[in-house]
């Protein structure tokens, strides 16, 4: 009788394990890593899959990389998840996810790009377009990627509405890289997208670039209206860099300039959705820190047509309080 009861208990426990398998424990019960199509979709999918495989190698967790259809789909997928989802939302997406879930979302890692934990929205236009100020944008054709993009739409549109700027038309490109391609190809007068600090020339020993400095410092010689010579030139890390394998990069930098910066904006993040197991999240966070520190991981995370993360930093929800203040949103009680 005792043996019968023991076997019955084991069977019940086994059924319980099968019925409530931990997410990530098998290919049939995976963890979903949500990706936003903010840059070049095919590259995001390819790199996302490679990162998912690397996390599996480091943790044994089965990860499915899932590129979302658009920015809104990312928010909805996060909000509808039940303990099996993490992802890499943009800054504005994270805020919307927080609102949709009543705060039931956990940001753990903030992206760092070339030493900076923040970025900004940049306005790009052809240098010969006559566009020099925000007022010059009236009546022009605006290229942006998606209405859910922090730097591509949310921040620029906020400024445009405040200034009463109106456009002849808009071109929705579907991705940051696509926006720059559309501008180079003459499909609009200017585009908006992410901006990044320029890198100093090799051997530079002065102060590092800070927000408010010339956005093309070390790149564009404003006295001579030309690129600095290669031996004196710094490195471009902004949206123009995303098309350097498609077009001659010096020509892009010569033809397309940065008109205006809006920000700074705290960088995008790695966040875990509602009900995600904390210990499992710890494993994933540790694995990503380990992976991005390797040559292989640095190449994947740092791809300019993926998300161009060069490092990560530990964060929590308070990291985005400054962004909430800019948008006029309340600071959560903690």
- pLDDT, tens only, 165-224: 999 999 999 999 999 999 999 999 999 999 999 999 999 999 999 989 999 999 999 999
What does the pLDDT look like over 80-108, one tens digit per residue? 999 999 999 999 999 999 999 999 999 99
Judged on CB neighbours under 10 Å (0-12, 13-18, 19+), 312 is buried
Are residues 194 and 308 located together in one domain of the fold? Answer: no
To the nearest 10 degrees (0 to 180), the angle between helices 71-80 and 91-100 is 40
To the nearest 10 degrees (0 to 180), the angle between helices 41-59 and 278-292 is 110
Are residues 281 and 164 located together in one domain of the fold? Answer: no
Are residues 255 and 235 located together in one domain of the fold? Answer: yes
Are residues 103 and 34 located together in one domain of the fold? Answer: yes
Structural domain ending residue among the three candidates 222, 245, 265:
265
Give which of 142, 127, 129, 143 is closest to 178, Cα–Cα. 143
Are residues 173 and 43 located together in one domain of the fold? Answer: no
**CATH number of the domain to which 45 belongs:** 3.40.190.10
Q: Is 271 helix (H, G, I), strand (E, B) or coil?
A: strand
Position 38 scores a pLDDT of 85
Is 318 within the bounds of a domain?
A: yes
Are residues 125 and 187 located together in one domain of the fold? Answer: yes
What does the pLDDT look like over 127-167, one tens digit per residue? 999 999 999 999 999 999 999 899 999 999 999 999 999 99
Bridge-based pairing state of the strands 31-35 and 63-67? parallel
pTM for this prediction: 0.84
Are residues 39 and 91 located together in one domain of the fold? Answer: yes
Are residues 138 and 227 located together in one domain of the fold? Answer: yes
Are residues 138 and 246 located together in one domain of the fold? Answer: yes
Are residues 170 and 237 located together in one domain of the fold? Answer: yes
Are residues 102 and 154 located together in one domain of the fold? Answer: no
Give which of 192, 206, 78 is closest to 144, Cα–Cα. 192
- Asked if residue 31 lies in contact with residue 279, where contact means CB atoms within 8 angstroms, the answer is no
- Containing domain of residue 58, as a range? 22-115+267-327
DSSP string, 50-80: HHHHHHHHHH---EEEEE-SSHHHHHHHHHH
Backbone torsion region of residue 235, taken as left when φ is above 0, otherwise alpha when ψ lies between -120 and 50, otherwise beta: beta
Strands (E), the chain: 31-35, 63-67, 85-87, 106-112, 118-126, 141-144, 169-172, 190-195, 220-221, 226-227, 256-266, 269-272, 311-314
Say how far residue 272 (Cα) sits from the centre of its chain: 15
Is 333 within the bounds of a domain?
A: no
Is 37 within the bounds of a domain?
A: yes
Is the peptide bond preceding residue 264 cis, with omega within 30 degrees of 0?
Answer: yes
Is 2 within the bounds of a domain?
A: no
Is 6 within the bounds of a domain?
A: no
Structural domain ending residue among the three candidates 230, 248, 265:
265
Are residues 246 and 272 located together in one domain of the fold? Answer: no
How many domains are contained in the chain? 2
Structural domain ending residue among the three candidates 236, 265, 294:
265
């Amino acid at each position: 009788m005792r043996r019968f009861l023991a076997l019955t208990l084991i069977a019940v426990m086994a059924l319980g394990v099968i019925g409530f398998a931990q997410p990530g424990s098998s290919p049939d019960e995976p963890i979903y890593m949500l990706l936003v199509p903010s840059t070049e979709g095919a590259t995001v999918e390819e790199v996302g899959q490679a990162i998912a495989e690397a996390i599996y190698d480091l943790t044994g967790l089965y990860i499915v990389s899932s590129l979302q259809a658009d920015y809104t789909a990312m928010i909805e997928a996060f909000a509808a998840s039940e303990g099996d989802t993490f992802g890499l939302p943009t800054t504005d997406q994270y805020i919307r996810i927080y609102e949709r879930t009543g705060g039931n979302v956990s940001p753990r890692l903030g992206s760092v790009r070339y030493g900076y934990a923040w970025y900004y929205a940049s306005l790009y236009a052809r240098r010969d377009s006559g566009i020099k100020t925000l007022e010059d944008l009236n009546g022009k054709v605006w290229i942006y990627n998606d209405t859910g993009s922090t730097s591509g739409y949310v921040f620029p549109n906020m400024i445009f509405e405040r200034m009463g700027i109106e456009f002849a038309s808009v071109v929705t490109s579907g991705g940051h890289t696509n926006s720059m391609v559309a501008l180079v190809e003459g499909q609009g007068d200017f585009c908006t997208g992410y901006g990044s600090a320029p890198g100093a020339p090799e051997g530079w020993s002065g102060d590092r670039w800070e927000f408010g400095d010339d956005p093309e410092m070390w790149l564009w010689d404003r006295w001579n209206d030309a690129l600095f010579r290669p031996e004196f030139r710094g490195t471009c890390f902004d949206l123009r860099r995303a098309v350097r394998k498609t077009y001659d990069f010096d020509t892009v930098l010569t033809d397309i300039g940065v008109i205006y910066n809006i920000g700074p904006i705290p960088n995008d993040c790695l966040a875990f959705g509602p009900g995600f197991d904390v210990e499992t999240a710890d494993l994933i966070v540790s694995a990503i820190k380990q992976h991005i520190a390797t040559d292989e991981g640095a190449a994947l995370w740092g791809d300019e047509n993926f998300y161009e993360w060069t490092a990560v930093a530990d964060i929590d929800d308070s990291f985005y309080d400054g962004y909430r203040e800019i948008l006029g949103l309340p600071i959560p009680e903690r």
